[in-house]
Structure 1
Amino acid sequence: MDDAAVVDARAGWRATLETTAAKWRPTVELGALFAGWYYFSIAFNVYQKALLKAVPMPLTATFLELAIGSALVAASWGLGAKARPDVKTSMLKPIATLGMVHMLGNALTNVSLGKVAVSFTHTVKALEPVFSVGLSAIFLGNIPSLAMCASLVPIIAGVMIASATEVSFNMAGFLSAMGSNLTFQSRNVLSKFVMTGDDMKKLDYVNLLGVLTIASTVFALPLALAFESSKMNVASIVAGGMPLAVAGKNLFMAALCFQLYQQLSFMVLSRVNPVTHSVGNSLKRVAVIAASVIIFRNPVSTTNIIGTALAIFGVILYGRVKKQKSA
């Protein structure tokens, strides 16, 4: 083979490799986003549970984590890592509305994580589709099909079975997780009403999360002061046996992981359809439940596992039914 033929062969191989790389790059990038979303979600729940187990101040933790998140958002805008949104006066009311609900959803989730096992909180939060269907029917007039209603049955049955056999069951923890479902799904319904202005539509997913984080911080402070101000001292913080430095580390890491997994979730949503994202979120919940059981060594019965699996199966089934309806 002469030199010209060798050069042509190398050029052909290079072109083939570049074409193959370009073809697979979106899939690899999406896989990396999913992996990061799952990893930081698991990490957030681990750090958060460890913190709240020793320092039972969920509302204060919510405020501080949102404040850290707000600082990270501001830094990303200030350093040019993300273009700063042009927030106009007309946007303040819808941002405040969604920010309030966003804050309540996070606060109630933290209350639940502090009261019961991580696995149980996320099993109860598998009921999100039930709240989504109900609120959409009431406020948006979206009447669910018979198939969609049928897909909710295993979710409800699974959560009931898991709740009845949950060793760490606590009514406050259960109701807080249910309240979190209600507030987060209310946020989704409210967004249909308040995200209609031309200025609001200009916000991309990441900047929307950023402005909601800042608004949520403003609302979280008076709530924390109203209910936990008496505990805001060093003695109360170290009473659970966790050194102050470790508590501070867990708080910062929980806040960082929370922001990262939320942003990665929005980045995934920007690349896939909502149904695929919903199924991915269900599988993420499985990963969080499994990791928390292993890390915290929570006692679980066979019946509890069956209930959890049934609920997750129902969520995935709901996603498939919803996909067929939207096709």
Structure 2
Amino acid sequence: MSGKGAAPPTASGKLFTFGLVASWYASNIGVLLLNKYLLSNYGFKYPIFLTMCHMSACALLSYVAIAWMRVVPMQAVRSRVQFFKISALSLVFCGSVVSGNVSLRYLPVSFNQAVGATTPFFTAVFAYIMTVRRESWITYATLIPVVTGVIIASGVSPIEFFFYYFVQGEPSFHLFGFIMCVGATAARAFKTVLQGLLLSSEGEKLNSMNLLLYMAPIAVLFLLPATIIMEENVVGITISLAREDIKIIWYLLFNSALAYFVNLTNFLVTKHTSALTLQVLGNAKGAVAVVVSILIFKNPVSVTGMLGYTLTVFGVVLYSEAKKRYK
């Protein structure tokens, strides 16, 4: 034995990792801002159809990446029970993405990100309800600034919050958009906990890329009837829009491809760093998304709103540290 430790990362290795993180940031923030532009500024008011485009691209590109390019080995669905579990996850995932896209019609990206940062709170709640798994009291204590920050960012006092009388703290506050945003955040947390429960055995575990391969086409099947019923003649409307402005087709294609690229880069960043690093980078990504969205859309943000969002991000960082230390 030579006694030598592991070789330090090379300059090219560091550059590769930096490129992955930059690509993950760019794709995450890009799809968020483009969704906001299409659903709010451009006036393409069809969030279910937009989500279905995303899932169709994820299904197609996942197959290309796994079956043809062999980015990861193909993992087969081993039983009918496992298939039903994946279908349940896909339904919850659809709900989270559709709700998130609907909220972007009514809320600025800055406030959307503030509410989204409360995911750890909902994850802790669902984990306790579904698994009776308790965290340390310090971990729960760190969730207080997470939730408080969102309430401050909304400009709502606790009493007014519960009785729906809102003051002008967040200039662009919208009740329905807020409800959709909270629903999307809760659904994301619920999917995380549900995935841990449903695919917990060694024989059922799928990596995120294979899970997306199976979830995406199932999601399309869920979204298709919803699109037909709730967004009548959306294909015809989109074709009419394309005749007036062909850019709408390119927007939808690029947006859908970007939605897949978010999942791909998420997987690669986790693979080449760690889940904890991904969580820390995710916290910073939210702050970057807020700044970029304000610069692009110039949505009004009060000092109170920014203080509330800052408090939420600070709480998420504390939560991450508490989870790491008190496992």
| TM-score normalised by length of structure 2 | 0.86
Deviation of 1:307 (Å): 1.0
The structure in which a higher percent of residues are helix is: 1
Aligned partner of 1:257 in structure 2 is 258
Aligned partner of 2:162 in structure 1 is none
How far apart in 1 are the matches of 2:299 and 2:89? 35
Deviation of 1:313 (Å): 0.9
Aligned length in residues: 305
User: 1:94 touches 1:194 (CA, 8 Å); kept in 2?
Assistant: yes
Amino acid at match of 2:32: N
Deviation of 1:295 (Å): 0.9
How far apart in 2 are the matches of 1:244 and 1:171? 32
Deviation of 1:25 (Å): 4.6
Q: Larger Cα Rg: Structure 1 or Structure 2? A: 1
Aligned partner of 2:165 in structure 1 is none
How far apart in 2 are the matches of 1:235 and 1:180? 26
Superimposed CA distance per residue, residues 198-233 of structure 1 (whole angstroms, 9 cap, x where no aligned partner) = 4422x3222222222222222111222221125443
1:243-254 aligned within 5 A: 243-254=244-255
Amino acid at match of 2:47: P
Structure 1 residue 158 and structure 2 residue 161: aligned? no
User: 2:59 touches 2:212 (CA, 8 Å); kept in 1?
Assistant: no
Aligned partner of 1:29 in structure 2 is 16
1:1-327 aligned within 5 A: 22-53=9-40, 54-82=43-71, 83-90=73-80, 91-164=82-155, 165-201=169-205, 203-234=206-237, 238=241, 243-326=244-327
How far apart in 1 are the matches of 2:13 and 2:188? 30
Return closer, same or farther for 1:243/1:78 CA change in 2, 3 Å cut-off. Answer: farther
Deviation of 1:61 (Å): 0.7
Deviation of 1:121 (Å): 0.9
How far apart in 1 are the matches of 2:238 and 2:10? 58
Amino acid at match of 1:175: I
How far apart in 1 are the matches of 2:313 and 2:239? 38
Amino acid at match of 1:32: G
Note the residue ranges of structure 1 that are not aligned, 5 or more in a row.
1-18
Between the aligned residues of both structures, percent identity stands at 25
Amino acid at match of 2:220: T
How far apart in 1 are the matches of 2:121 and 2:244? 41
User: 2:54 touches 2:260 (CA, 8 Å); kept in 1?
Assistant: no
How far apart in 2 are the matches of 1:316 and 1:260? 26
How far apart in 2 are the matches of 1:270 and 1:307? 33
User: 2:114 touches 2:153 (CA, 8 Å); kept in 1?
Assistant: yes
Amino acid at match of 1:291: V
How far apart in 1 are the matches of 2:130 and 2:7? 48
How far apart in 2 are the matches of 1:207 and 1:166? 40
How far apart in 1 are the matches of 2:238 and 2:252? 17
Deviation of 1:237 (Å): 6.5
Deviation of 1:133 (Å): 0.9
Aligned partner of 1:8 in structure 2 is none
User: 1:155 touches 1:312 (CA, 8 Å); kept in 2?
Assistant: yes
User: 1:95 touches 1:212 (CA, 8 Å); kept in 2?
Assistant: yes
Amino acid at match of 1:43: G
Amino acid at match of 1:60: F
| TM-score normalised by length of structure 1 | 0.86
Deviation of 1:312 (Å): 0.8
How far apart in 1 are the matches of 2:67 and 2:274? 31
Amino acid at match of 2:123: S
Amino acid at match of 2:88: T
Return closer, same or farther for 1:236/1:302 CA change in 2, 3 Å cut-off. Answer: farther
